[in-house]
């Protein structure tokens, strides 16, 4: 099942940007994200993200 941008941002609430992938995963877990959301974040490039828009763009590049 595909993860929507809205769903992803819901589980990333509270992330302080800029943030690395590890922080996104940690925050998603704190926010009780399901496995498919964690897997999606895990597939993002290992770099610093500057905003929610930056995360969404990266998702679009892997999707």
β-pairing, 48-49 vs 19-20, is: antiparallel
pLDDT digits (tens, 9 = 90+) for 2-58: 888 899 999 999 999 999 999 999 999 999 999 999 999 999 999 999 999 999 999
Decide: 19 and 44 in contact? Cβ < 8 Å: no
Q: How confident is the model at residue 63 (pLDDT cuts 50, 70, 90)?
A: low
What is the C-alpha to C-alpha distance for residues 7 and 11, in angstroms, rounded to an integer?
7
Full-model pTM: 0.91
């Amino acid at each position: 099942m595909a993860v929507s941008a809205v769903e992803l941002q819901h589980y990333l609430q509270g992330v302080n940007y800029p943030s690395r992938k590890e922080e996104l995963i940690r925050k998603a877990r704190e926010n009780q994200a399901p496995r498919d959301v964690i897997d999606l974040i895990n597939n993002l490039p290992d770099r610093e993200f500057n905003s929610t828009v930056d995360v969404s763009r990266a998702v679009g590049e892997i999707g």
